[in-house]
Structure 1
Amino acid sequence: MQISVSGHHIEVTESLRTFVESKFEKLERHFDHVTDVHVVLTVEKLNQKAEATVQISGAKLFAEDTQEDMYVAIDKLVDKLDRQIIKHKEKTSSHR
């Protein structure tokens, strides 16, 4: 899995980058075919926004979350993507 982290109106520090990488490794435990993750961290006045596009085999998933703390926004973003991946995996698996 290749993770790219970029910032908009924010400098992506090493601690933010390692936090994002450790959280997004959690996505591989449900679905092995996660190929590419692009994360954009944005600061808009008092709101911290995290959005991500995840490319898995045959589909692209997108989620975003806005909070007052960037770490909380990243955490909730990963939870949203985790639910989407589980839902996608259930759709593609055979239910015989």
Structure 2
Amino acid sequence: MNLNITGHHVEVTDAIRDYVSGKLDRVIRHFDNVTSVNVILSVEKLDQKAEVTVHVRGKDIHVESTDADMYAAIDAMTDKLDRQVLKYKQKTNDHHHDSHKHQTPEA
């Protein structure tokens, strides 16, 4: 997995980098086939914004969150990402299960 963390108008410190990678490891453990993860942390006026794009086979999952605190924005972003990843995983598992069901001959 290729993890890329960038900052727009904010310095990405080692503490923030470790915090983001720890949170993303918790979410990405659901997938074996994550090719890359791009995280952009930005500050606009008083809003702290965190956005992530996860590239998995067949789809790109994009999530963004805004909060007054950068760590709270990262937490909200990972919570949203976790829900979308689980939804995508459930959808792919249901799809594969249905395809096997249709291939079995009925007597």
TM over 0.5: yes
Higher relative helix content: 2
Normalising by structure 2, report the TM-score.
0.84
Taking the aligned partners of 2:57 and 2:66, their CA distance within structure 1 comes to 27
Where does residue 78 of structure 1 map in the other structure? 78
Taking the aligned partners of 2:68 and 2:45, their CA distance within structure 1 comes to 10
**Identity score, percent:** 50
Where does residue 58 of structure 2 map in the other structure? 58
Normalising by structure 1, report the TM-score.
0.93
Where does residue 20 of structure 1 map in the other structure? 20
Partner-residue secondary structure (3-state), 1:61:
strand
Taking the aligned partners of 1:45 and 1:35, their CA distance within structure 2 comes to 33
RMSD: 1.1
Taking the aligned partners of 1:58 and 1:27, their CA distance within structure 2 comes to 18
Partner-residue secondary structure (3-state), 2:32:
coil
Query: What residue identity is the alignment partner of 2:57?
Result: S
Where has structure 1 moved over 4 Å in runs of 4 or more? Answer: none
TM-superposed CA distance for 1:33, in Å, is 1.9
Where does residue 89 of structure 1 map in the other structure? 89
Instruction: Decide which structure has the larger Cα Rg and report it.
Output: 2
Query: What residue identity is the alignment partner of 1:3?
Result: L
TM-superposed CA distance for 1:91, in Å, is 1.0
